[in-house]
Amino acid sequence: MNDSPKKAVLYARVSTADQNLDTQLHDLRQLAAQRGLEIVHEYADCISGARSRRPGLDELMRDARRGRFQVVLVWAADRMARSVKHFLDVLDELQRLNIEFVSFRENLDTGGPLGRAVVTIVSVVAELERNLIVERVKAGMRRAKLEGRRIGRRPLNVDRDSIWRHHVHGRSYKQIAKDFGVSKTFVARIITEKKKLVPKGFVQLPSEVTETISTGSVA
């Protein structure tokens, strides 16, 4: 009889860099110890739940297909997948590979049919909650638009011709950006647009020079 502990891996995910993975991993390590599991690897992602690419989860699934562990522990069901369909696809593949899925927050284990059914229900509720949040945000934006309130950043009110003149006078992008209180990227975009309007081979002179030539007051 083989009494060696099952090999387990941990998966944790946060949405932004200012959030901390340590809390999730601490709880999962304790859960693994309580169940007598041997942790062979820990996977983590710092990415939005809506994003399709997750390097940590992708690596976990590759190792699962190689038979490197028997149990996956996650802090919560909604940390695992980006949608209900994706979550169920992950569970189906793990089940096909004879790998158990355990969720700390929901206290669920797919080792039995009841656990799988409950996890599915929890995932549906989590997806519904996410959709409701999105709909509330959209409704708020629609209401603000109807009330005439501006949504997003106010557009820059900058004299683009003046930016071009500064460029013609030899000012650097950095200097122009500082003068007008805008970014160098914005300055570069304006100058690029202006250059397209200048005929090929035409040399743009500073306004002082053109005025001197037109009045014939050259010394």
Catalytic sites, residue numbers:
15
Going by the DSSP 8-state scheme, the letter that residue 81 receives in this structure is -
Q: Which of 112, 26, 101, 116 is nearest to 70 (CA)?
A: 101
Burial class (CB in 10 A: 0-12, 13-18, 19+), 197: exposed
* 41: three-class secondary structure by DSSP: strand
- The structure tokens 């979550």 sit at 87
C-alpha 66/C-alpha 74 separation (Å) is 20
Phi-psi region for residue 8, left (φ > 0), alpha (ψ -120 to 50) or beta?
beta
Bridging pattern class, strands 108-109 and 100-103:
antiparallel
Q: Which of 166, 187, 169, 167 is nearest to 177 (CA)?
A: 187
C-alpha 203/C-alpha 198 separation (Å) is 8
**H or E stretch at 35:** none
Please provide residue 87's backbone torsions phi and psi, each rounded to the nearest 5 degrees.
-60, -45
